[in-house]
Amino acid sequence: MEHLDRVRRRRATPPASEDAAKTARAGDGDRDRKRLEAEARNARYAREKPLRQELQTLEARIAVLEAEDKTAQAALADPDLYQDYARAKPHMDTHQRATRELERLYARWEELQQSLGSP
């Protein structure tokens, strides 16, 4: 009931001038625009949050695999290692496994980056 009384009083009292009325309407429009922008920002953030989390997890896993691969490659660079196949085999397996998984993770990373880059 109080709300209706306030609305009636506002309608009964004309604005001080046309400029004041325009300013009041512009202020409402500005508020609405800002509210809509904030809602769009919040919706985009909610949509992108799981992608960003996956991206962060992916980047951590990529870093681990790159370190493993670098260690394996350094070991494989030693020509003496190949004199003993049993010693070389784990390094070769690590290198192959890391290379395969890195290819898959790099592809997913690119997909996520493209998804985040588009509106």
Structural domains of the chain ordered from first start: 17-117 (1.10.287.380)
Q: What is the 3-state secondary structure (H, E, C) of the chain?
A: CHHHHHHHHHHHCCCCCHHHHHHHHHHHHHHHHHHHHHHHHHHHHHHHHHHHHHHHHHHHHHHHHHHHHHHHHHHHCCHHHHHCHHHHHHHHHHHHHHHHHHHHHHHHHHHHHHHHHCC
The pLDDT of 65-69, averaged and rounded, is 97
Q: Does the pLDDT at position 62 exceed 90?
A: yes
CA angle, corner 80, sides to 74 and 86, nearest 5?
85
Q: Does the pLDDT at position 37 exceed 60?
A: yes
The pLDDT of 85-95, averaged and rounded, is 95
Tell me which of 47 and 26 has the higher pLDDT. Answer: 47
Q: Does the pLDDT at position 18 exceed 60?
A: no
Lowest mean pLDDT among 28-32, 77-81, 83-87, 104-108: 28-32
Residue 29: pLDDT band by 50, 70, 90 thresholds?
confident
